[in-house]
């Protein structure tokens, strides 16, 4: 396997694709993709740029996240596996939605390549039971550095990790399927480039912001698309609205909204991609976990 492509030792089968032949260099790959019919059109659009950035760079492909499990006593292995399957279905459905974007008629098989290139690394370590954000950030930075990679280049797998705690998993299991209207849950995302210095008078991050945000199930791919725009200490969600305890940030990458921490499910048409981060989103019927449990009984 080309050493410039990412591979994790936990994968029993190496990731393979006919579009990424072994032994091809980054330069050769970049030239070959640019020669594809029509692939020079629409190259500035989000998916082509995402593909160009990560598929032609070292360890950027296959793309994906490192997902940390932080619940073992409350969450069964069956529920854990089911939550991962639901997460994957929502991510693939989101990728497929981009097929309807007019510009992609020039790259007819791009979505297939992006879809088959999605592959996560799963970390199940019981010592991380209930681990707080700062511990998870340190653990992930260590994971990246031990493998000879670097943070700060906007690579989803290295700069951001997904964290599934007991509540997040319950919200995922309670979510509607991607092709059905209804309510959907969230994943926790830790920005591993974040450094909080409350003693700094120029610090603009809210007192209660710790570099952790929530991303809806239907925004996981959108967050990855935005990852190379999110530079360290310049995130559009870390410098507003976090001066009150009990609130969290929901984001799809570029656009964000603050919600009460007790929010458990949001409407499936809650589209952060179209909401400015400096504007309150239209009020819709979010749901707390107790409300969901009342409906389920």
d(CA 85, CA 92): 11
Of the listed ranges 54-58, 263-267, 292-296, the least confidently predicted one is 54-58
8 A C-beta contact, residue 271 and residue 247: no
As a whole-number percent, the residues of the chain with pLDDT over 90 amount to 45
**pLDDT tens by residue, 172-221:** 999 999 988 899 999 999 999 887 655 555 555 556 678 889 999 999 99
Q: Residue 70 above 50 pLDDT?
A: yes
d(CA 193, CA 119): 22
Q: Is 151 helix (H, G, I), strand (E, B) or coil?
A: coil
Query: What is the predicted pLDDT for the residue at 279?
Result: 41
256-260 sheet: strands from edge to edge: 121-124, 66-69, 160-164, 186-191, 212-216, 247-251, 256-260
Q: Residue 80 above 80 pLDDT?
A: yes
Query: What is the predicted pLDDT for the residue at 282?
Result: 45
DSSP letters, 30-62, are: HHHHHTSTTTTTTTTSHHHHHHHHHHTSTT--S
Mean pLDDT, rounded, for 130-150: 95
d(CA 109, CA 275): 29
Query: What is the predicted pLDDT for the residue at 101?
Result: 62
Pairing state between β 160-164 and 66-69: parallel
**DSSP structural state of residue 274:** G
Q: Residue 100 above 70 pLDDT?
A: no
Say what the pTM is.
0.89
Query: What is the predicted pLDDT for the residue at 32?
Result: 84
d(CA 217, CA 252): 10
Query: What is the predicted pLDDT for the residue at 229?
Result: 77
**pLDDT tens by residue, 252-281:** 877 788 888 999 999 987 655 444 333 444
Q: Give me the phi and psi of 287, to 5 degrees please.
A: -135, 135
**DSSP structural state of residue 201:** T
Residue burial 247-267, b: 16+ Cβ < 10 Å; e: rest:
bbbbbbbbbbbbbeeebbbbb
Query: What is the predicted pLDDT for the residue at 198?
Result: 53
Helix H or strand E segment including 289: helix 289-296
Q: Where are the beta strands (DSSP E) in the chain?
A: 66-69, 121-124, 160-164, 183-184, 186-191, 212-216, 247-251, 256-260, 263-267, 287-288
Of the listed ranges 127-131, 164-168, 201-205, 229-233, the least confidently predicted one is 201-205
Q: Residue 140 above 70 pLDDT?
A: yes
8 A C-beta contact, residue 70 and residue 133: no
Query: What is the predicted pLDDT for the residue at 223?
Result: 92
**pLDDT tens by residue, 149-163:** 999 888 999 999 999
**pLDDT tens by residue, 26-38:** 888 888 887 776 6
């Amino acid at each position: 396997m080309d050493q410039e492509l990412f591979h994790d030792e936990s994968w029993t089968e190496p990731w393979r694709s006919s579009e990424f032949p072994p032994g091809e260099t980054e330069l050769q790959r970049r030239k070959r993709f640019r020669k594809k019919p029509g692939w020079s059109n629409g190259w500035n659009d989000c998916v082509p740029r995402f593909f160009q950035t990560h598929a032609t760079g070292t360890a950027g492909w296959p793309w994906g996240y490192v997902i940390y499990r932080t619940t073992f006593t409350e969450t069964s292995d069956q529920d854990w596996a089911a939550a991962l399957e639901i997460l994957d279905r929502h991510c693939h459905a989101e990728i497929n939605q981009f097929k309807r974007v007019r510009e992609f008629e020039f790259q007819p098989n791009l979505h297939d390549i992006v879809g088959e290139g999605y592959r996560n690394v799963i970390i199940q370590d019981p010592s991380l039971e209930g681990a707080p954000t700062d511990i998870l950030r340190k653990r992930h930075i260590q994971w990246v550095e031990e493998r000879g990679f670097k943070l700060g280049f906007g690579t989803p797998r290295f700069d951001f990790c997904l964290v599934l705690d007991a509540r997040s998993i319950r919200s995922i299991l309670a979510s509607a399927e991607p092709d059905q209207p209804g309510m959907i849950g969230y994943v926790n995302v830790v920005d591993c480039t974040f450094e909080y210095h409350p003693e700094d008078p120029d610090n603009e991050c809210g007192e209660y912001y710790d570099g952790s945000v929530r991303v809806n199930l239907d925004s996981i791919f959108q967050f990855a698309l935005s990852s190379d725009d999110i530079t360290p200490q310049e995130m559009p969600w870390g410098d507003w609205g976090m001066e009150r305890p009990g609130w969290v940030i929901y984001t799809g990458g570029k656009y964000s909204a603050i919600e009460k921490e007790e929010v458990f499910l949001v409407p499936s048409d809650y589209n952060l991609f179209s909401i400015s981060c400096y504007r309150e989103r239209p009020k819709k019927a979010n749901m707390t976990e107790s409300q969901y449990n009342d409906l389920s009984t």
